[in-house]
Amino acid sequence: MKSRTKVVVIGGGIAGCSTLYHLTKEGWTDVVLLERNNLTSGTTWHSAAQVTNFGMNQTMVGLKKHSIELYRDLAKDTDCPVNYNYGDGGIRLANTEEQMDAYRHFTSMGKGMGVEFEVIDANECQKRHPLISTDNLLGGWWDPHDGNIDPYQLCNSLVNRAKKAGAEIYTDTPVTGLEQYEDNTWKVITDNGNIDCDVVVNACGYRVNEVAKMMNVQHPVASMEHQYFLTEDIPEIENADHRMPLLRCPISDYYCRQDKNGLLIGFYEQDCKPWGMDGIDPNFVNSLCPDDLDRVTDVLEGAFQRMPALKEVGIKNIVNGPITYTIDGAPLVGKIPGKENAYCIIGLRAGIGEGGGHGWLLAQQIVHGEACYDTWCIDPARFTSHSNVELTSLKAIEDYQNEFRFHYPNEHRPVGRSAKTTSLTSIMNEKNAEFKVVNGWERVDFIKPNKDFKYSHTFNFDEAFSIVADEVKNVQNNVGVCEVNGFNRFEITGNDTDSFIDRMFCGKITHKPGRVGLGYLLNHAGMVKAEATIANLPESDRGPKRVWYGSAAASEFHDMDWLTQNIKKDEQVTIKSLTNDQTILVLAGPNSRKVISKCSREDWSKESFPWLSVRECFIGFSPATVMAVSFSGELAYEIHVPNESLYAVYLALMNEGKKLDIQIFGARAVESMRMEKGFLAWKHDLITEFDPFETGLNRFVNLQKNDFVGRTALQKRINEGLKKKLVCLKVDCKHSPAFSGASLLEENKVVGTITSGDWGHRVNLNLAYAFVDINKAEIGTKMNLDLLGKIIETEVIPFAPYDSNFSRILT
Ligand SMILES: Cc1cc2nc3c(=O)[nH]c(=O)nc-3n(C[C@H](O)[C@H](O)[C@H](O)COP(=O)(O)OP(=O)(O)OC[C@H]3O[C@@H](n4cnc5c(N)ncnc54)[C@H](O)[C@@H]3O)c2cc1C
């Protein structure tokens, strides 16, 4: 075995093989794959190996499209043949209008990625899949690209190509230890000797945490047992003139594909079983779990009813194997947070279909720092301190039980709740709060009129619409309070803090003590990486001169990694996370100044404390740091308080506020109000696929600065000219918001993609943001939106249709 290489990929399943191959495609050919046994000996060998183009968002659709194109190419490779059944399509069934709406949305979204899906009725489902009955069936969703592939041949073919490019593979080489050198390169220790490398990749499937432990991390990945069986030959299939399309059924939780002249049927039973929680037998290699068909009888019945031919046929073979899950069901592909030169491609639950695409995006990240798509939906940094294997296994059970029932907008499932709470959570609960989950935090979404109030999981505006309208109205006319827990907050100190911040942000950021600035961080490709507020706190009895960096709740690990990676060796900069130590109460509305003035002895007049000010003070008797910033577009104060003082500050505000009839408002009201003000949301409107000019952040870029991260690449992009532009749209529809990913069309050609959408209650408009072709960005341009299968007219309007001159904030 060689003693040094650039990248060591650990694990020879689809994840590792695809990563290795794609690293060579990106130009890194001095790369090695280490496999403890033989290739595919983990989960990959026994996979049902279906390859669909379905994805919940555009990144997932795009990466699966890459898999399919790659696998089609491999299948043609005579050098290393791969059996790939492609082109017979697949159907996802539906028996509710909500499911059909979801399919309509995914069809609209697919168009933007160049993938044509089709929504079909029940009869058409049966026409395309003659074995099924139409009982209790409304229709389905047709994926013409569905298919299945031989997973063993697939991995061999990838490895064959990687080897030809220069990669090396060592099987029967278990990795037993990992040590990191001072310069952040790695020593990989194996039973067959050691190998030094710049970068390590954990692609170890269900053994992910055995290897993670070697670098002192734990990934939120858990395994579930999963079963399918293969039937004897079915005469209707033998006599058919085409292969049966694949089936996936959210009604009875199974999937089914043709296998030779029989069927392969896999089940997602309710009585499901986690696997390997207490350690995995080292000899579990090319192995299966014991069959247990009794467990799946609940879902078997549904499959029999849908395909009566099954009742007549015998079972040939049963396969029960471990399949990995994460907290939200999507894998972890990217840099391991808190570690340098360490990546992972783990938690793949549909790894054969997705593996080609994940390996592609990971290799791009390793070689270029970023991939062609925004990879937040698979970024390992999206889970933070609350995420561990215990929580993951509970969420895995919930996810497994709902395998084909995707999350609807505003749906927050019950398992693993209350992972992160504050002293106000139970008080808000008493006030009938409906909570949503943000990075584990329980955040008030809106206040229900009573405990029993329920809202539908739907793509339309739901029953909370008028409640949210009232919460907005109160903030607009009076005063409201809203807890924003989990808001990410770092304290940055050290002599070089200001110059460090200047380098990290692409615009001019104030360093004036007592002032707050908003700015954007770019990646090295000049694209929008992060958004943060910078609050300059002068030296005081609470600490030295310091800067508070505040950003979205989910960005904690993401932003910490990016900032710390970019501190230069000779720079004196220290970053400490206060995210879990402090919480924010937002006081918003024209009467907010009256309330805060009653609770504190400071002068809160606009002359003494104008917009974008920050000061340390007391609210009641509790220490607080208050910023005059507003996401709602009304006069507002962000009151940052240590967690232990939260309740006392809340009581102080409510005691004074009740004289003015202060009301609670939640995250849904905030979402509606920020859309009206033209404020952007990280990882919705602010993504790495666009630069700050395309995102309309011109006033936050200062090209006079010689040096900021991403400047050179940004200048190159400017020279080439803008191709896309973020716009605000008025949507001519009253029943549904525009959903992220939906396509804007002109004569059936996609000219834009929605990033956010919501009703603006103060302007009484259905609003959306979208990235559109540059020639569609003019105010007044009309475009058709494919919204849940209907064509809806939209028109580009100026950003911030509510109070565009900020008179209400500056008052
Ligand atoms: C019954 C069943 C049906 C499925 N059906 C489908 C389907 O239809 N479509 C689909 O897309 N997906 C399906 N899946 C899921 C899919 O098979 C997996 O997502 C995929 O195979 C995971 O690949 P992997 O490379 O991540 O893991 P694995 O295949 O488990 O590979 C990990 C590799 O790492 C190696 N390794 C571990 N530790 C070390 C170490 N210390 N040193 C060196 N090497 C190490 C292991 O030996 C193993 O070879 C199914 C899964 C199951 C169980």
Q: What is the pLDDT of residues 404-451, one digit of tens each?
A: 998 999 999 999 999 999 999 999 999 999 999 999 999 999 999 999
Mutational test site, ligand 1, from 34, 37, 44, max ligand atoms within 8 Å of CB: 44
Atom of ligand 1 nearest to the CA of 257: 8
pLDDT reading at 298 higher than 90 = no
Which pLDDT score is estimated for 443?
97
What is the share, in percent, of the chain residues with pLDDT greater than 90? 99
Which pLDDT score is estimated for 591?
98
DSSP of 194-230 = EEEEEEEEE--GGGHHHHHHHTT---S-EEEEEEEEE
Output the CA 419–ligand 1 centroid distance in Å.
29
* Ligand 1 and 93: CB distance under 6 A: no
CA distance 721 to 736: 35
Q: What is the pLDDT of residues 101-158, one digit of tens each?
A: 999 999 999 999 999 999 999 999 999 999 999 999 999 999 999 999 999 999 999 9
**Pair 327, 234: CB distance under 8 Å:** no
* Ligand 1 and 174: CB distance under 6 A: yes
Output the CA 678–ligand 1 centroid distance in Å.
44
Residue 274: strand pairing partners: 224
Which pLDDT score is estimated for 388?
93
**Pair 338, 217: CB distance under 8 Å:** yes
DSSP-assigned letter for residue 132: -
CA-nearest residue, atom 5 of ligand 1: 48
* Ligand 1 and 323: CB distance under 6 A: yes
Q: What is the pLDDT of residues 263-288, one digit of tens each?
A: 999 999 999 999 999 999 999 999 99
* Ligand 1 and 43: CB distance under 6 A: yes
Q: What is the pLDDT of residues 782-800, one digit of tens each?
A: 999 999 999 999 999 999 9
Q: What is the pLDDT of residues 666-675, one digit of tens each?
A: 999 999 999 9
Residue ranges in 415-514 assigned as alpha helix (H) = 425-430, 465-477, 497-504
DSSP of 318-339 = EEEEEEEE-SSSS-EEEEPTT-
pLDDT reading at 315 higher than 90 = yes
pLDDT reading at 98 higher than 90 = yes
Q: Find, among 201, 730, 742, 663, the residue nearest to 469 by Cα.
A: 663
* Ligand 1 and 50: CB distance under 6 A: yes
Task: Please state the separation of Cα 383 from the chain's center in Å.
Answer: 10
Atom of ligand 1 nearest to the CA of 206: 30
Burial of 414 (0-12, 13-18, 19+ CB in 10 A): exposed
Mutational test site, ligand 1, from 14, 21, 43, 291, max ligand atoms within 8 Å of CB: 43
Q: What is the pLDDT of residues 58-80, one digit of tens each?
A: 999 999 999 999 999 999 999 99
Average pLDDT over residues 5-32: 98
* Ligand 1 and 34: CB distance under 6 A: yes
Output the CA 3–ligand 1 centroid distance in Å.
27
CA-nearest residue, atom 50 of ligand 1: 47
What is the share, in percent, of the chain residues with pLDDT greater than 70? 100
* Ligand 1 and 321: CB distance under 6 A: yes
In whole numbers, what is the pLDDT of the chain averaged over residues?
97
Coil, helix or strand for 288?
coil
**Pair 526, 714: CB distance under 8 Å:** yes
* Ligand 1 and 403: CB distance under 6 A: no
CA-nearest residue, atom 4 of ligand 1: 47
pLDDT reading at 376 higher than 90 = yes
pLDDT reading at 581 higher than 90 = yes
Atom of ligand 1 nearest to the CA of 321: 53
Average pLDDT over residues 603-630: 98
pLDDT reading at 706 higher than 90 = no
DSSP-assigned letter for residue 735: S
Residue 4: strand pairing partners: 196
Output the CA 320–ligand 1 centroid distance in Å.
13
Atom of ligand 1 nearest to the CA of 14: 25
Which pLDDT score is estimated for 797?
98
Which pLDDT score is estimated for 453?
98
* Ligand 1 and 16: CB distance under 6 A: yes
pLDDT reading at 473 higher than 90 = yes
Least-confidence region, from 113-127, 292-306, 649-663, 670-684:
292-306
* Ligand 1 and 175: CB distance under 6 A: yes
* Ligand 1 and 645: CB distance under 6 A: no
**Pair 249, 255: CB distance under 8 Å:** yes
Output the CA 225–ligand 1 centroid distance in Å.
13
